[in-house]
Amino acid sequence: MRRRRYRLSLLAVGGLLAPLPAVSLPARSAHAAEPTAVFHKDQDRGSGYGGGYTITNAGSAAINGWTLEFDLPANHTLGSLWNAAYTAAASHVTVKNPGWRPRIAPGASYDFGFNVAYSGPFAELRNCKLNGKPCDGSGGDDQAPTAPTNVAATQSGPGRAAVSWTASTDDVRVAGYDVYEGAAKVSTVTGDGTAVTIGGLADGRHAFTVVAFDTSANRSAASVPVTPRTGKVNPQTGLTIGYFTQWSVCARGYSVKKLDTSGSAAKLDHLNYAFANIHPSTKQCFLTDKAAGNDSDPNAGDGAGDGAGDAWADFGRGWDAGTSVAGTPGTWDQKLAGNFNQLKQLKAKYPNLKVRISLGGWSYSKWFSDAAATDASRKALVSSCIDLYLKGNLPVIDGRGGAGSAAGIFDGIDLDWEWPNSEGHFGNVLHPADKANYTLLAQEFRRRLDALGATTGKHYTLSAFLPADPAKIIAGTDVPGLFGAFDFAAVQGYDYHGARETTTNQQSALKVAAGDPSTPDRRFSSELAVDAYVNGGAPRSELTLGVPFYGRGWTGVPRGSTNGLFQTAAGPAPGSYENGFEDYHKLKEKLAGGGYTLYRDPVAGHAYLYNGTVLYTYDDPTEITRKAAWIKEQGLAGAMIWSFDGDTANGELTTALANGPK
């Protein structure tokens, strides 16, 4: 049906018609001192109408400037509006006084009009507010919530306090809580949450109070203060953290047992298992057996498609005596097998090793934005991840899994959202609110992990993988907010450059190399990335630096005057699993096989191989040792490895990292 838009109160239908009588919608009784805004519908021909609002100042003082808001019903569209300024966002319309008429004297009125087209039945405008209060002059909600009660606080890990309280009540609805240390607001909890963890605290007493606020911005009195004592913050140093990938047991043939026999497991403090996925419909953690897939497909990680997960590798695959960590064969009826059972055996052998499930990654970050968008969706995601992985309530697939079958394997959550409010994998969902929502999501994880810890008597760690690109940091990373929730986080120390670009460069240098031809905004280094986080408020003792156990490469590279570096290439170099990439142990074999020359830049801190045509940028034991020294010099918490399957059979890169300065 065609929609017609009407101007003023005259309709042209075969000629000019006289205005119909104005129809005023009745208003409820108003307080005399409050201004009112009354809607009038002047003409309606079944597919649109002309109408407006009359604002009346019933008070004794002049109104200097006003704002009126209302919502259009479904299938109603605002055409034009006159005698006022306005903006429309979807169905919500905001109208402000014109610059030439801001004042409404006591007892006076002001009218503005508009045209609305609609299909289907007419429906009234909704949620009218004048200067934030109901248009009927009732004055709105002016009753504050009750003050939060039963406020409690306990130490939650080094330099952290977990603050909780009993919910306030309100005549309409409590919208959230502000938490203060002294006069400084240190956190905001929205929705129904009644707990938060405050990080970055020095040793000593800290006085916290909580204030409730409602949907009309009325604020309660402050709660009774609570004064927990936090222990001395011991800076974390020398941590060795690494990712074990779900798929490494397939084409790469790298099992959890090889992590043990290489000597690498004995040198680890934390292991992140990659990756958990988010369901496209429920936006919750889930497991499925869909291992195959094309990573270039924008739907590669969706729940219904191939590539959405590999439950068989996770907890279904059996390992015999020769390939299991414990040296014992699996049985056909065991509820837990696969990588999860091997990690359980690894933890039994190395009881100080902490294992986390990593959520997202490059292929599985598509739905992070939607899952983090609302208080309800955040709670659903966090609850599902904790239930599935930390409580170990796996789905039953081919006789494996079941309630509690994986309990005790994972000691925390690692968040790998690539990237909030910035481009990542093809097809990723992005929202402008991602930056704020990521902080709220991390805080929800922190609250729920602490609540679980209160029942089990252990501390569950929350970590993250964060971008090195300063533009991505600005777009999607609330540094103080996130580090108030994280135990520590890894800064991406690699993928600075690669065959996605036509000019050869380094992929993991500590500093920008002299002669780098990149534009200033595309020059990347570990130094620039770490400085961005520290300057943004991240404690150095909670930052780790990512180190790559693989290289990136180009082919068709002329020698030039730089032995291939900073030259224009023809395309990506050959790779064993994907062109443009090669594992460290493969690159070591290429160098040993002859034809390649190793070049280093000891000032910038990077190395590369070149054979006259092909160039690979990578880290070898010398560069790993250099990075370990730089990490200590910078006072960082340690290093993060991506990923173990790129190392040699005797774990020489892990050894170089572990043997570096602490």
- Give the model's pLDDT for residue 332: 92
Structural element, H or E, at residue 408? none
- Give the model's pLDDT for residue 9: 31
Domain 269-491 has CATH 3.40.50.1580: no
Using CA atoms of 565, 567, 569, 573 in order, give the dihedral in degrees to the nearest 10: 0
Count CB-CB contacts under 10 A for residue 292.
Answer: 8
Tell me the pLDDT tens digit for each residue of 225-238: 887 777 655 667 89
Taking the C-alpha atoms of residue 626 and residue 661, their distance in angstroms, rounded to an integer, is 9
Tell me the pLDDT tens digit for each residue of 504-534: 999 999 999 999 999 999 999 999 999 999 9
Q: Which CATH topology does 149-230 take?
A: Immunoglobulin-like (2.60.40)
Tell me the pLDDT tens digit for each residue of 134-193: 898 887 777 899 999 988 887 766 788 889 899 999 988 898 999 999 889 999 998 888
Q: Which of helix, strand or coil describes residue 316? A: helix
- Give the model's pLDDT for residue 3: 31
Residue range 23-134, CATH number:
2.60.40.290
Please pick, among 34, 418, 542, 623, the residue that the annotation labels catalytic.
418
Q: Which of 14-18, 223-227, 292-296, 389-393 has the lowest mean pLDDT?
A: 14-18
Tell me the pLDDT tens digit for each residue of 404-458: 999 999 999 999 999 999 999 988 999 999 999 999 999 899 989 988 988 888 8
**Main-chain dihedrals φ then ψ at residue 86, nearest 5 degrees:** -150, 160
Delimit the domains of the chain by residue range. Answer: 23-134, 149-230, 269-491
Using CA atoms of 391, 397, 398, 401 in order, give the dihedral in degrees to the nearest 10: 0
pLDDT of 461 > 80? The answer is yes
Mean pLDDT over 21-47 rounds to 67
Residue 542 falls in the annotated catalytic set: no
Same fold, 23-134 and 149-230: yes
